[in-house]
Amino acid sequence: MRSIIALPDKRLRQESSPIKCFDDGLKELASEMQAAMLEGPGGVGIAAPQIGEMSSVVLVDCRQTKRPCDNHGLLFLVNPEIISLTGGEVLGREGCLSAPKWTGMVPRTRDIHLRYRNLKGDEQELKSSGFEARVIQHEIDHLHGVLFIDRMISTRDLVRRTP
């Protein structure tokens, strides 16, 4: 099983490459991502770069979140692309498996519409809102080398997690 990489690892700042081959290797990557996320402290999403794989794959699973929310269940988003952001910005607290000791207040758009491929390579579209939309935006940022700390309005909002 692959481990989650953490700051200051420079791979977290790299751009990911699009997936071109939808084969058993992709399914294995998805499985490794899910296992790594489940080993972490209550994660609801993970991006391939967080396990050192510079590929455009995101996993989002808000089914077990502490915050009740409408969600689409377990999502594997391959080559995700946000089509539109609507509903205005909402400020919310975020954490990250790659910065496990910190949380911060981050503005995110409430509603998103995205295009992606599933693990078979079929093109899909999805509309999401609220907490799930926040998680999707957070994970897509990872594919572009952007971390939640880069989106914070003020570093005064950065808070050390307590055990």
Mean pLDDT of 2-19: 96
Q: Which pLDDT belongs to residue 21?
A: 96
Res. 163 pLDDT band, cuts 50 70 90: low
Mean pLDDT of 123-144: 97
Q: Could you tell me how far CA 36 lies from the centroid of its own chain?
A: 13
Taking the model in full, what pTM does it have?
Answer: 0.94
Q: Could you tell me how far CA 29 lies from the centroid of its own chain?
A: 15
Q: Quote the Cα angle for 78-56-21, to 5°.
A: 65
* CATH T-level topology, domain 10-160: Peptide Deformylase (3.90.45)
Task: Say which residues have a Cβ less than 8 Å from residue 162's Cβ, sequence separation at least 6.
Answer: none
Mean pLDDT of 76-101: 95
Going 132 to 137 to 138 to 143, the CA torsion angle's sign is positive
Mean pLDDT of 46-57: 98
* Residues marked as catalytic: 139
Mean pLDDT of 129-149: 96
Mean pLDDT of 90-116: 95
- In this structure, what token pair is assigned to residue 64? 């077990």
Instruction: Give the closest residue to 69 by CA, choosing from 44, 37, 42.
Output: 44
Q: Which pLDDT belongs to residue 68?
A: 62
